[in-house]
Amino acid sequence: MFKAIIIDESHDFIKTLVEFLQKNFPEVDIKAKITNINNAQKTIDETLPDLIISGIQFSDKKVFQVLDSLSPFNFEIIFFSNSEEDTLTAFKYGAVHYLLRPIDSDQFKIAINRAARSILQKKIKQEYEMLVANIGNKAFVNSKIAIPTSDGYVFVEIDDIIRCEANGTYTYIYTSKRDKIIASKNIKEYQFMLPKKKFFRIHNSHLINLSKISKYTKGRGGVITLVDGTELDVASRRRIEFLDLFQ
């Protein structure tokens, strides 16, 4: 479910859009229908919509003037117009779609779906950042970290993490109490999030829990053996920094 506002001078046009949305997208919660552009800013401030569906040209101004007064804003916008003259400007304001009247139902569906995906991605990102911030602000009082996955979050004791392994934009997280977790963040994020006194990045691909090392074997960079039997190379350029941790 996400909140939407429709702005247009035509009551009939708004009614048509509302009926279409109620039939095809029941997850869209229409919070306001605005026909007077001068009331738009106040209504937007009060309702904090996720999506605005709006015409462009009104009797005495364009909707862009309202958006200027709200900048920066965090909602998605679908514009519709009688002509293509404002297309470039619309996309400069971050439009997810620009539709010409009369509205083509298939194109409108595409626009709503595109907006819904963007809204969901923003909400997931905000929730993740909030969780990370909360953990950071509490100085890891609960000694847990929230790991975002494809279907939600996994909460893991920091001391249970053995190592993190880079895999493109994902990270494989290995712990002592569960199978591998595929996290939807890259390894650099975890290097930043995990306490530096406990974790060290021995290689571009590997971030390890220092307390989980059972053996170090000398070599160009050296090889560490972890408590689960995993053997990993230490990058030669990081060998001195790594060994200094144990001096």
CATH number at residue 161: 2.40.50.1020
Q: How far is C-alpha 139 from the geometric centre of its chain's CA atoms?
A: 23
Same domain, 109 and 177: no
Same domain, 92 and 149: no
Q: Are 101 and 57 in contact (CB under 8 A)?
A: no
The answer to whether residue 73 is domain-embedded is yes
The answer to whether residue 152 is domain-embedded is yes
Residues spanned by the domain of 42: 2-129
- The kind and range of the H/E element at 88 are helix 87-92
Same domain, 11 and 123: yes
CATH of the domain at 96: 3.40.50.2300
Same domain, 226 and 158: yes
Q: Strands, E, within the chain: which ranges?
A: 2-7, 28-34, 51-55, 76-81, 95-100, 144-149, 152-157, 161-167, 170-175, 181-183, 199-203, 206-209, 213-217, 223-226, 231-233
Q: How far is it, in rounded angstroms, from Cα 201 to Cα 76?
A: 39
Same domain, 210 and 122: no
Q: What is the pLDDT of residue 73?
A: 83
Picking from 73, 99, 129, the residue at the C-terminal end of a domain is 129
φ and ψ of 175, to 5 deg: -125, 170
Same domain, 7 and 124: yes
Q: What is the pLDDT of residue 141?
A: 46
Same domain, 60 and 94: yes
SS3 at position 8: coil
Closest CA to 49 of 21, 18, 19, 73: 73
What is the number of alpha carbons within 13 Å of residue 28 lying toward its C-beta? 25
The secondary structure of residue 149, as a DSSP letter, is E
Same domain, 115 and 154: no
The answer to whether residue 135 is domain-embedded is no
Joined together, the tokens standing for residue 197 give: 């006194």
The answer to whether residue 43 is domain-embedded is yes
φ and ψ of 54, to 5 deg: -145, 145
Q: What is the pLDDT of residue 144?
A: 81
Q: Provide the angle, in degrees to the nearest 10, between the axes of the packed helices 105-137 and 11-24.
A: 70
The number of domains in the chain is: 2
Same domain, 9 and 104: yes
Same domain, 171 and 221: yes
Same domain, 202 and 120: no
Joined together, the tokens standing for residue 8 give: 């247009």
Hunting for tokens 């309702």 — which residue is that?
47
Which mean pLDDT values do the consecutive 10-residue runs of the chain (247 residues) have?
Answer: 94 96 95 95 90 94 92 89 92 94 94 93 73 54 74 86 89 88 87 88 94 92 93 92 87
Picking from 104, 129, 154, the residue at the C-terminal end of a domain is 129
The answer to whether residue 138 is domain-embedded is no
The answer to whether residue 227 is domain-embedded is yes
The answer to whether residue 222 is domain-embedded is yes
Q: How far is it, in rounded angstroms, from Cα 21 to Cα 100?
A: 18
Picking from 129, 164, 186, the residue at the C-terminal end of a domain is 129
Same domain, 124 and 158: no
Q: How far is it, in rounded angstroms, from Cα 76 to Cα 97?
A: 10
